[in-house]
């Protein structure tokens, strides 16, 4: 391949050299410089990679993509473009042979619900026999393989590398979370989505190094609509008029409102010895009754959205129903254990907003007692501890305060902060610093009708103490305790 072959869709100017130079790799890290590589220069907030041009050309790089005029040795091709990040995305797609074009692409954006909804979509598609790759907050999943990631939406080069592996491994579909930051940073530039899903929006990610204000945040969320064939949008969102204003693709609404293309009605909360979740009827484009094995009204929205998209893809109704009734999403309202005596749930809720939402949801199931096991992370805002302590004291029948990721703080100091706010509520609590012991206590001392929520870590498989990550998974602890008991 030559650099000319890789410039499809990119607006550029040839400043120096020839476009017939052979290339075999795209890099944006100067330390990976080698003959055959194209070096994409970008000006970041801390580093301007244009400064590394002497080093990369000395290492054998013969093609540079820059954002402004530069000095380059004779024999080096210089291509100038307006945005280096966009160039990186388009070049990366070309370098891997445009793998996303070989997949049914589903992009999910919004403030809340992205992770759960993408997991639901993947589960439904795979139940229907469609092997599906997934990219999001919990990492990248391709078949049985899992690859941890730093960002919700990885850098563009990594995205296309993962797409290529999905194609190689026989995936038909890819469902991915598309963050507003990814849009702003052009990580998904050039990717065409067959379907775009907008879960909801509320003020978030506003501040230094993120978004200037809510208007900018919404603007970048809506950019997904410019890259998809068809959109699915939550019509119950309070910002619906702003969301759908001037969108360039056909869209369908989902929600509880009468007239939505996909409407949920006859919602019931179900708590049985072998099933805890919600059931409702889908009406509109399809009429299908479903049971969803994850509690909460917000999971009605997540399941409704997942159902709509997968029905568009062509999943049969019976496969959809089976998948939703047998869902398991690690650390997201995960029902780890149910019996005649109690129900144990693991969830990632690790701040005041998510904790309050979770406990309010579980209250709708009318447990005899609502027990919450939680701590707070060290070296983080103490306000989080105060607010979570207050919510636990006010909303739970019993709070068991324990360790989370203490990092470089003493667990006892973190617990003391939580205790201070909890005491003001008059709520009942006990302190068990060892998290494993705290989880075991909650189960061994369960009373008939208890609902136990173990929160804060969810899918995390470690506990971070003094800079070291020790293996620890809430679900595994529950399973170990239950195995050794008759409750």
Q: Quick one: which H or E segment has residue 158?
A: helix 156-168
The length of the chain is 487
> DSSP string spanning 315-376?
--HHHHHHHHHT---TTSSEEEEE-SSEEEEEE---SHHHHHHHHHHHHTT--SEEEEEE--
Indicate the burial class of 437 (C-beta count within 10 angstroms; 0-12, 13-18, 19 or more): middle
Q: Is 156 one of the annotated binding-site residues?
A: no
Mapped onto helix, strand or coil, the DSSP state of residue 183 is helix
Q: Quick one: which H or E segment has residue 186?
A: none
pLDDT band (50, 70, 90) for residue 44: confident
pLDDT band (50, 70, 90) for residue 416: very high
- Domain hosting 297: range is 99-325
| Residue among 117, 126, 159, 124 at smallest CA distance from 144 | 126
Are residues 226 and 213 both part of a single domain?
yes
Q: Is 486 one of the annotated binding-site residues?
A: no
Indicate the burial class of 306 (C-beta count within 10 angstroms; 0-12, 13-18, 19 or more): buried
Q: Is 110 one of the annotated binding-site residues?
A: yes
Are residues 320 and 348 both part of a single domain?
no
CATH number of the CATH domain containing 89: 3.40.1390.10
Question: Which pair of structure tokens corresponds to residue 202?
Answer: 């509320």
Are residues 48 and 193 both part of a single domain?
no
Are residues 391 and 257 both part of a single domain?
no
Could you give the CA distance from residue 453 to residue 349 in angstroms, rounded to a whole number? Answer: 10
Q: Is 402 one of the annotated binding-site residues?
A: no
Q: Is 113 one of the annotated binding-site residues?
A: yes
Q: Number of folded domains in the chain?
A: 3
Task: Please say whether the beta carbons of 81 and 151 come within 8 A.
Answer: no
> What is the pLDDT, as a whole number, of residue 207?
67
Q: Is 444 one of the annotated binding-site residues?
A: no
Final residue of a structural domain among 302, 325, 348: 325
Are residues 195 and 338 both part of a single domain?
no
- C-alpha to C-alpha distances, 451 to 338, 370, 401, 454, nearest whole angstrom: 9, 5, 16, 10
CATH number of the CATH domain containing 157: 3.40.1190.10
> What is the pLDDT, as a whole number, of residue 213?
86
pLDDT band (50, 70, 90) for residue 485: confident
> What is the pLDDT, as a whole number, of residue 330?
87
Could you give the CA distance from residue 311 to residue 104 in angstroms, rounded to a whole number? Answer: 13
* 143-200 pLDDT, tens digit each: 889 999 988 889 999 999 999 999 999 999 999 999 999 999 999 999 999 999 999 9
Q: Averaged over 225-231, what is the pLDDT? A: 97
Q: Averaged over 370-398, what is the pLDDT? A: 96
Are residues 347 and 415 both part of a single domain?
yes
pLDDT at position 387 over 90: yes
Final residue of a structural domain among 290, 308, 325: 325
Q: Averaged over 296-325, what is the pLDDT? A: 97
Q: Averaged over 446-471, what is the pLDDT? A: 96
Are residues 269 and 162 both part of a single domain?
yes
Task: Please say whether the beta carbons of 7 and 49 come within 8 A.
Answer: no
Are residues 232 and 267 both part of a single domain?
yes
Task: Please say whether the beta carbons of 278 and 257 come within 8 A.
Answer: no
Task: Please say whether the beta carbons of 347 and 356 come within 8 A.
Answer: no
* 272-282 pLDDT, tens digit each: 888 999 999 99
Task: Please say whether the beta carbons of 449 and 367 come within 8 A.
Answer: yes
Cβ-based neighbours of 416, under 8 Å, separated by 6 or more: none
Final residue of a structural domain among 325, 356, 373: 325
**pTM attached to this predicted model:** 0.88
pLDDT band (50, 70, 90) for residue 137: confident
CA 393 to chain CA centroid, Å, is 29
Are residues 78 and 170 both part of a single domain?
no
pLDDT at position 212 over 80: no
Are residues 24 and 112 both part of a single domain?
no
Are residues 48 and 125 both part of a single domain?
no
pLDDT band (50, 70, 90) for residue 474: very high
Are residues 161 and 265 both part of a single domain?
yes
> What is the pLDDT, as a whole number, of residue 150?
84
> What is the pLDDT, as a whole number, of residue 208?
66
Could you give the CA distance from residue 367 to residue 208 in angstroms, rounded to a whole number? Answer: 42
> What is the pLDDT, as a whole number, of residue 46?
85
Cβ-based neighbours of 68, under 8 Å, separated by 6 or more: 50, 80
Q: Is 339 one of the annotated binding-site residues?
A: no
CATH number of the CATH domain containing 372: 3.90.190.20
Q: Is 116 one of the annotated binding-site residues?
A: yes
Q: Is 179 one of the annotated binding-site residues?
A: yes
Q: Is 153 one of the annotated binding-site residues?
A: yes
Q: Is 30 one of the annotated binding-site residues?
A: yes
């Amino acid at each position: 391949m030559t650099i000319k072959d890789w410039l499809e869709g990119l607006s550029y100017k040839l400043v120096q050299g020839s476009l017939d130079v052979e290339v075999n790799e795209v890099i944006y890290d100067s330390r990976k410089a080698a003959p055959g590589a194209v070096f994409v220069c970008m000006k970041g907030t801390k580093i301007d990679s244009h400064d590394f041009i002497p080093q990369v050309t000395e290492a054998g790089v013969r093609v540079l993509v820059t954002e402004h005029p530069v000095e380059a040795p004779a024999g080096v091709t210089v291509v100038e473009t307006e945005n280096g990040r966009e160039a990186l995305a388009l070049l990366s797609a070309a370098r891997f042979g445009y793998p996303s074009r070989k997949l049914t692409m589903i992009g999910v954006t919004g403030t809340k619900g992205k992770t759960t909804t993408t997991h639901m979509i993947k589960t439904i598609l795979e139940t229907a026999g469609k092997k599906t790759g997934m990219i999001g907050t919990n990492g990248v999943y391709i078949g049985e393989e899992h690859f941890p990631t730093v960002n919700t939406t990885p850098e563009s080069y990594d995205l296309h590398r993962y797409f290529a592996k999905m194609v190689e491994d026989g995936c038909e579909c890819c469902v991915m979370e598309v963050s507003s930051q990814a849009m702003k940073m052009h990580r998904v530039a050039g990717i065409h989505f067959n379907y775009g899903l907008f879960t909801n929006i509320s003020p978030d990610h506003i501040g230094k190094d993120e978004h200037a204000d809510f208007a900018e945040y919404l603007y970048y969320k809506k950019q997904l609509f410019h890259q998809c064939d068809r959109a699915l949008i939550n019509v119950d969102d309070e910002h619906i008029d702003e969301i759908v204003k001037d969108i360039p693709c056909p869209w369908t609404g989902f929600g509880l409102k009468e007239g939505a293309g996909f409407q949920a009605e006859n919602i019931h909360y179900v708590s049985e010895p072998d099933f805890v979740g919600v059931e409702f009827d889908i009406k509109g484009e399809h009429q299908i009754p479903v049971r969803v094995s994850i509690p909460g009204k917000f999971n009605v929205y997540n399941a409704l959205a997942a159902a709509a998209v997968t029905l568009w893809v062509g999943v049969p109704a019976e496969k959809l129903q089976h998948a939703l009734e047998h869902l398991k999403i690690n650390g997201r309202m995960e029902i780890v254990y149910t019996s005649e005596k109690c129900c144990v749930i693991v969830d990632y809720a690790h701040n005041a907003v998510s904790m309050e939402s979770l406990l309010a949801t579980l209250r709708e199931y009318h447990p005899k007692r609502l027990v919450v096991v939680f701590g707070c992370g060290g070296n983080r805002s103490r306000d989080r501890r105060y607010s979570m302590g207050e919510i636990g004291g006010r909303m739970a029948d019993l709070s068991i305060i324990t360790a989370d990721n203490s990092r470089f703080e003493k667990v006892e100091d973190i617990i003391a902060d939580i205790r201070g706010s909890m005491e003001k509520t008059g709520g009942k609590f006990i302190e068990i610093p060892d998290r494993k012991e705290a989880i075991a206590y909650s189960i061994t001392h369960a009373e008939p009708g208890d609902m136990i929520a173990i929160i804060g870590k969810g899918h995390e498989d470690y506990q971070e103490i003094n800079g070291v990550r020790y293996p620890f998974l809430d679900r595994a602890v529950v399973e170990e305790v239950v195995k050794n008991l008759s409750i």
